Amino acid sequence: MCELNGSAFSPDGKKESGLKIKTIFHIDFDYFFAQCEEVRNPMMKKSPIIVCVYSGREQDSGVVSTSNYIARNYGVKSGLSIKHAKNKLRDTKSFFIPIDLQYYKEISNKIMNIICSFSPFIEIRGVDECYLDVTFLLGHNSEYSINLAKTIKKTIKDQTGISSSIGISFNKILAKIASDYKKPDGLFLIDINNYKEIVYPFAIDKVPGIGPKTRKKLNDIKITTIEELVNAKIDNLIKICGRKLGYKLASICHPDFSRWQTNNLKQKQIMKIMTLKKEPRDSLDFRKIIDKISIEIVSGLVRNGLVYRNISIILILENLVNITRSKSMKLYSNEIDQLILQSNYLFDEILKSIDIKDVRRIGIKVSDLKQSTGQNTLNQYF
């Protein structure tokens, strides 16, 4: 996350003493999971491709993770249920493919490495996008920026077969808005001299960080466009969106003078959620599932040499309400027995307030992670 440097900018983005306007790229891999499947099996390329997360609850239950643009033309996009997608595509030859995160991560790593070779100032945000600060290479120059972006796009495409979209601007938020504006295979620059004409008319939900809830709250006080957003009083924004988001929203068109964070790659939590089969279940079934999830989580911890201190259990009910209970331990640990014991305890706590029949999904999360120092599996003192 970037923190603006307090008083260091002027509202209109003019340079102040010693501070340099940055050139930031936001690089986004187009319809990534589905495109990975196209690369693996190019003969599918001309047909709708739908990458699916099957829940196993019943035949064809689950949702669409990603689809290619051909499928999107039929109205099939992320979040749609697989049943609906199949219905919309019933007259076409289309490919429904189960999600294969391992494979996508491999390709993602390859691409991120390519990008790193252009600038070390990279901030990876998930498998399919990253920010790149290229100021040290070319200062602040539109023509150079566009040429470099073209080169990066071409290199990625040549070496991995994946097309991408790049947005260029003087801060991260506008760079991301820019990459979104012309995808797929896009390249768009929002310059310090023309950003108002471009982004002021945009609806506020183009801003990363504004989802349906925040949009509604802001619409209620008559803020619908980015122009209205940047002209709003910061105190109002903070009142409505909270301190952090309010401050960020007030600053979306300000130059980024923050020091670039070195990549914060350390994992902060591990979570596994399972959807239950649609059949009668009793408390014993849940104990077995808790065992199973716990094992997977601990194996994740051990693989990464991590210990946890906080355990949460998450229940999602049939009406999709979420309930969580969590507990902090005195000591760091990666022990399975402790995890199972505490998870069961937290599960029982929730069962006091709800009916076990209403549970649809169950998950466990470990957080407050740290690198385990020794090679052993003993408890660690902090």
Strand partners, 364: 272, 313
Q: Is 79 in the site for DNA (CB under 7 A)?
A: yes
Interface pattern 315-354 for DNA (x via CB under 7 A): -x---xxxxxxxxx--------------------x-----
Q: Which residue lies nearer to DNA by CB, 1 or 284?
A: 1
DSSP SS3 for 364: strand
Q: Is 374 in the site for DNA (CB under 7 A)?
A: no
User: Residues 203, 214: contact at Cβ < 8 Å?
Assistant: no
Count of chain residues binding DNA (CB under 7 A): 59
Q: Is 97 in the site for DNA (CB under 7 A)?
A: no
DSSP string, 72-134: HTTT--TT-BHHHHHHHTTTS--EEEE--HHHHHHHHHHHHHHHHTT-S-EEE-STTEEEEE-
Residue selected from 151, 242, 262, 277 as contacting DNA according to rule CB under 7 A: 242
Residue selected from 10, 41, 78, 231 as contacting DNA according to rule CB under 7 A: 78
Q: Is 63 in the site for DNA (CB under 7 A)?
A: yes
DSSP SS3 for 59: coil
Q: Which residue lies nearer to DNA by CB, 152 or 218?
A: 218
Least Cβ distance, residue 258 to DNA (angstroms):
13
Cis peptide before 42 (omega within 30 of 0): no
Round to whole Å and give the CA distance between 28 and 164.
6
Piece in contact with DNA (CB under 7 A), picked from 7-15, 183-191, 313-321, 333-341: 313-321
Given the residues 37, 38, 123, 129, select the one marked as catalytic: 129
Round to whole Å and give the CA distance between 188 and 175.
9
Q: Is 88 in the site for DNA (CB under 7 A)?
A: no
Q: Is 370 in the site for DNA (CB under 7 A)?
A: no
DSSP SS3 for 46: coil
Q: Is 6 in the site for DNA (CB under 7 A)?
A: no
Q: Is 57 in the site for DNA (CB under 7 A)?
A: yes
Residue selected from 47, 81, 225, 344 as contacting DNA according to rule CB under 7 A: 81
Least Cβ distance, residue 321 to DNA (angstroms):
7
Q: Is 215 in the site for DNA (CB under 7 A)?
A: yes
CA nearest to 132, candidates 114, 146, 118, 147 = 118
Who's near 24: CB < 8 A, 6+ residues apart?
131, 132, 133, 134, 135, 168, 169, 170, 171, 172, 175, 256
Count of alpha carbons within 13 angstroms of residue 168, beta-carbon side: 27
129 is catalytic: yes
End-to-end CA distance of the chain: 27
Count of alpha carbons within 13 angstroms of residue 309, beta-carbon side: 14
Q: Is 271 in the site for DNA (CB under 7 A)?
A: yes
Q: Is 65 in the site for DNA (CB under 7 A)?
A: yes
Catalog residues that contact DNA under the rule CB under 7 A.
1, 53, 55-57, 61-63, 65, 78-79, 81-84, 126-129, 207-215, 242-246, 264, 267-275, 310, 312, 316, 320-328, 349, 361, 363, 365
Residues designated as active site: 129
